[in-house]
Amino acid sequence: MKITEGVHALPLTLEVQDQELTISPAAVETDRGLVLVDTGLPPTVDQLDAALAAAGFDWDDIWAVLLTHQDIDHVGGLTAVIEHADPVVFAHRECAPYVDGREHPIKLDDERYPPVPVDVELSDGDRFRTTAGPMEVVFTPGHAPGHISLYFEEASLLVSADALHAPDGDIDGPRVPLDEGLAVDSIETLSELSFERTLCYHGGFVEDGTRAVEAVLSERED
């Protein structure tokens, strides 16, 4: 699904406890190739292949994978993606230890996904040149340590990952924040940006932006 020039949503579906769940990685076009934002899970890699093809791409077009945070539905498919592509792996510096094996992923009690080295550790404010204009890393912890969102000012678009979600098409805060205080701080950070459209990992693409986030912030602070 093309959201704007140079940014594509790649919706994937899976069954969790007898319920169908849709998650939305993204593909961002750059002069060097695609940046794949999150990877889904191993069972959804075939769907990811099909979604890339539907958008006019294949594995060879991917030059980088950017992980928004450590959760298994965002990172679990990374090793399978690496089998098809040869990407540079990016993650926030506070997320990297959970991905590369120095720390055990917080929400996994037992066996973890295979560790993968993080090639480049990101910080708040880092930018990528993309077809949609600068893609800025926005540090949005609360849902998980080292969580980041991606802001496209020129395209008036936010890729929120799990800092926001959109149940029934309406923007809300994170589904399961580890730290409610940090989650609210992150919602406030996002409310200070100017955007009209949002891609949530859970809930998909919505034609809502800053005003909806301001409303969520008001509800959380009350």
Note the helical H segments in the chain. Answer: 45-54, 72-75, 78-84, 96-100, 180-191, 210-221
Q: Is the pLDDT of residue 40 over 90?
A: yes
Rounded Cα–Cα distance for residues 205 and 4 (Å)? 11
Judge whether 186 and 145 are in contact, CB under 8 Å. no
Whole-number pLDDT of residue 87: 98
Domains and CATH numbers, the chain: 2-221 (3.60.15.10)
Q: Average pLDDT over the chain, rounded to whole?
A: 95
Show the tokens assigned to 196: 């009209």
Return the residue matching tokens 């037992």. 110
Rounded Cα–Cα distance for residues 188 and 86 (Å)? 36
Judge whether 24 and 199 are in contact, CB under 8 Å. yes
Residues in the chain: 222
68-98 per-position pLDDT tens digit: 999 999 999 999 999 999 999 999 999 999 9
Whole-number pLDDT of residue 109: 87
100-134 per-position pLDDT tens digit: 999 999 989 889 999 999 999 999 999 999 999 99
